[in-house]
Chain A
Amino acid sequence: MKTLRILITLIFTGLMVNTAFAEDAGSILKKMDAVLFAGEDQTSSIRMILTDRGGNERVREAQVWQKGANKRLFRFTAPAAEAGIAFLSLPDDVMYLYMPAYGRERRIASHVKNQSFAGTDFSYEDLESEKYVKRFTPELLDETDETYILELTPLPDMRSDYSKIIAHIHKKHHYPLKMESFDRGGQPFKVAEYTFKKKGDYWYTAEIKMTNLRRNHSTRMIFEEVAFDTGIDDSVFSVRNLTRY
């Protein structure tokens, strides 16, 4: 009887501990989303430096507008061959691409998500403007004095080219420090290293270095002239605006 009590106690304790971890993981991920999608809106200029295995560099530049957690507009400004190309991401996987040479926007389906964004090491999925809690189930794997380590697995109805992501999250400020992505076969695929800075009340991404482990190629995405809460109108995230280069 005593053994049974101990067993029941252990089972319940175990369940409680697991539940507590699950809640913690969810709460940590929500806090990370709150940092990543801070403010009502955000604008920035970004510079993407592509470095191949030989150390050769190429540079891409763009303007970015973001509102809430699921509206984002990218417009390339350099190099000249890509200037004017724009990409609009809206809720529910609605995406448009505008190429000035064709004079019209093109609706693009979610099959592009696994594709490289403009030759960088970021895929369309990496740049998707949607909260992590809406895409992944978190599990707290470990914690150190400074970081939480979460394993993120795609939600059942979530279409992802990653089988899981190991997220290293700053314990105090809840911004990501590193994200290790694994392909569908479970093999290490990409590593994103983050640098965060503070502006006013908000922490913002100052730089992401994405390394493709298979290709030994990396892209540094540097955010400059970051501004929050400038009151971007919803009309910015429209096809009408997309086609105005």
Chain B
Amino acid sequence: MKKAVFFLTAVLIVHTMPLPAQENPLLWRGSIETDQRLLLQDDREWAWNENRLDLSLEKRVSPLYIRGNVWLRHLGPSIVETYADLQDKGKVSPWDLDIRELYAEVHGFVSENIDLTIGRQRIAWGTADRFNPTDNLNPYDLEDILDFGRAMGSDALSMQWYFTRNSSLQMVYIPRFQPASMPRGAFAGVFDLSVPVNLPHAEMLVPINETTLILPKNNFNEGSNVGFRWRSFLLNTDFSFSYVYGRDPLPLATAVDIIIDPVTNDTEALAVMEYPRHHIAGGDFSGSIGRIGIWGEAALFIPESGFHTDVTIHFAETVIYDKVVALQEDPYVKYVIGADYTFSGGTYMNFQFIKGFLHESGKGELNDYVVIQTERSFLQNRLNIQPLAGGFTVNDWNNISDDYAWFLTPEITWQGIDNLEITLGGYFFDGKGNNFFMGLKDKNMIRLHVKASF
């Protein structure tokens, strides 16, 4: 509520400021959207209910630009548990305010070739389509796990120096660490939080029931992230090199306390989780070969130190201590290569090979993903169809039949009326083994998304 009051006050202040440049009024645009997804299994439960007001604001007071983007949302079903909860409208009808971005940008700071941006902002690095291994400054926004590539804004200071028209150097400082938001609702269990346990006569995977997060200290040394990116253009190709020193926004378990019931073998596990530091050296390019668009992006992750999980197992009267590697100290590389093409009939196709999904880290822990998207528009873009959209993943190419998954996300969008977009789609998953998309196997769903822009 405090955030809402703060935001509305800020909007009012900006709107009523006696600024001299009346030719630069406060610009606002946005949309209202509803996103409803229904699970096809079990009891046909709703997997996602979201109603969103997406509002973007801009005020120019040259050379200053003030910009903001906020989401005001009603999200999910009622979360009342007691009669008393019915008196709390926030639980009866849950809503939240998400300040995605709110920053001031100075064009021509000190020199006309330098732009300075201060405030909550999205710093989107990389050239690949939604899967960007070099995009590591903003924490992931995994709340809706199927909205690949979504990230939260960070409170940051960013300075970009354009030393030629095609070349620039960007320097970013983020003073405070911000963890990633994790999947919610029907997607809450999609990331496997379990730890392998070696008992004298058995090996088992124990799911973690409770966690304690240890956030880095909120100071300069522990909490801040820095990044640099040099961009340029050569031989008809855009490219960049980047470096980030920061923390993984996803936590690793560093200690797990497990109690095993000797009679039922039921387990209870409490984990302590931390956010590892790493250096990331990245590079990307985008260009074309003939008429085919191509891009590539790679990031070398160098963990500052390896991580082990100290496992303590309480089994009957016995206490067993174990140590499991959570993150190897060795560097590892995540990368994406992709291409797109539009056939003469008008069908667009986009292909990407991804080594290492966003939640995967550590040498030898990265899996392979292939993502494909086809798209065709009809009736002067009034009707857009994505018949073949999805992909597959393979953990071990020597054992494909036992460890693979595929997913399909076809959709059809109608835009027959200006500013109104209606999408009907589906998400379908299947496979075998222990991989990310298997976590969604029982979550096949259909989706209705309606968006009205203003």
Do A and B come together as binding partners? Answer: yes
Which residues of B have CB within 8 Å of A245?
58
Q: A114-B344, A159-B291 are in contact. Are A79 and B236 (CB under 8 A)?
A: no
Question: Which A residues from 97 to 153 make CB contacts under 8 A with B?
Answer: 100, 102-104, 106-116, 118-121
How close is A179's CB to chain B, nearest CB, in angstroms?
20
Contact between B288 and A110, CB atoms less than 8 A apart = yes
Instruction: Tell me if A234 is interfacial: C-beta within 8 Å of chain B.
Output: yes
Contact between B419 and A115, CB atoms less than 8 A apart = no
Question: Which A residues from 163 to 218 make CB contacts under 8 A with B?
Answer: 184, 215, 217
Contact between A161 and B165, CB atoms less than 8 A apart = no
B115 touches which of A83, A100, A113, A240 (Cβ 8 Å): A240
How close is B141's CB to chain A, nearest CB, in angstroms?
13
Q: Tell me the bound Cα distance from A39 to B2 in angstroms.
A: 55
Q: A92-B236, A119-B380, A238-B165 are in contact. Are A107 and B295 (CB under 8 A)?
A: yes
Contact between A81 and B453, CB atoms less than 8 A apart = yes
Nearest-neighbor residue (CB-CB) of A115 within chain B:
B342
Contact between A81 and B288, CB atoms less than 8 A apart = no
Q: Tell me the bound Cα distance from A113 to B291 in angstroms.
A: 9
Instruction: Tell me if B316 is interfacial: C-beta within 8 Å of chain A.
Output: no
How many residues from B make CB contacts under 8 Å with A? Answer: 45
Which residues of A have CB within 8 Å of B238?
107
How close is B160's CB to chain A, nearest CB, in angstroms?
8
Contact between A103 and B291, CB atoms less than 8 A apart = no
Question: Which B residues from 183 to 230 make CB contacts under 8 A with A?
Answer: none
Instruction: Tell me if B439 is interfacial: C-beta within 8 Å of chain A.
Output: no
Instruction: Tell me if A229 is interfacial: C-beta within 8 Å of chain B.
Output: no
Q: A107-B287, A108-B293 are in contact. Are A116 and B127 (CB under 8 A)?
A: no
Which residues of A have CB within 8 Å of B419?
79-81
Q: A84-B29, A109-B288, A109-B291 are in contact. Are A103 and B124 (CB under 8 A)?
A: yes
Q: A84-B29, A116-B380, A159-B291 are in contact. Are A94 and B453 (CB under 8 A)?
A: no
How close is A124's CB to chain B, nearest CB, in angstroms?
10
Which residues of A have CB within 8 Å of B380?
50, 52, 116, 119-121, 215, 217
Nearest-neighbor residue (CB-CB) of A235 within chain B:
B165
How close is B130's CB to chain A, nearest CB, in angstroms?
9
Among B29, B58, B65: residue with most chain A CB under 10 A: B29
Which residues of A have CB within 8 Å of B420?
81
Among A103, A113, A116, A234: residue with most chain B CB under 10 A: A103
Nearest-neighbor residue (CB-CB) of A58 within chain B:
B418
Question: Which A residues from 66 to 98 make CB contacts under 8 A with B?
Answer: 79-81, 83-84, 92-94
Contact between B293 and A80, CB atoms less than 8 A apart = no
How close is A214's CB to chain B, nearest CB, in angstroms?
12
Interface SS, A side: loop
Among B65, B168, B380: residue with most chain A CB under 10 A: B380
Contact between A119 and B381, CB atoms less than 8 A apart = yes
Question: Which B residues from 89 to 135 make CB contacts under 8 A with A?
Answer: 107, 115, 122, 124, 126-127
Which residues of A have CB within 8 Å of B46?
none
Contact between B344 and A161, CB atoms less than 8 A apart = yes
Question: Which B residues from 39 to 77 make CB contacts under 8 A with A?
Answer: 56, 58, 65
Instruction: Tell me if B17 is interfacial: C-beta within 8 Å of chain A.
Output: no
Q: A107-B287, A109-B293 are in contact. Are A79 and B124 (CB under 8 A)?
A: no
Which residues of B have CB within 8 Å of A217?
380
B127 touches which of A107, A121, A161 (Cβ 8 Å): A107
Which residues of A have CB within 8 Å of B379?
52
Q: Tell me the bound Cα distance from A120 to B377 in angstroms.
A: 12
How close is A165's CB to chain B, nearest CB, in angstroms?
18
Nearest-neighbor residue (CB-CB) of B67 within chain A:
A245
Instruction: Tell me if B158 is interfacial: C-beta within 8 Å of chain A.
Output: no
Which residues of A have CB within 8 Å of B377?
116, 119
Q: Tell me the bound Cα distance from A81 to B160 in angstroms.
A: 29
Contact between B122 and A107, CB atoms less than 8 A apart = no
Q: A114-B344, A238-B165, A240-B160 are known; give 13 further A-B pairs, CB within 8 A.
A: A50-B380, A80-B419, A83-B29, A93-B236, A104-B124, A107-B293, A109-B340, A110-B288, A112-B342, A115-B342, A115-B346, A119-B381, A217-B380
A-B residue pairs in contact (CB < 8 Å), sample of 11: A52-B380, A80-B454, A81-B31, A81-B415, A100-B56, A107-B288, A109-B293, A111-B292, A114-B342, A116-B380, A217-B380
List the 8 shortest-distance A-B pairs measured between CB atoms, nearest first.
A109-B293, A119-B381, A109-B288, A81-B453, A107-B286, A104-B124, A111-B291, A80-B453
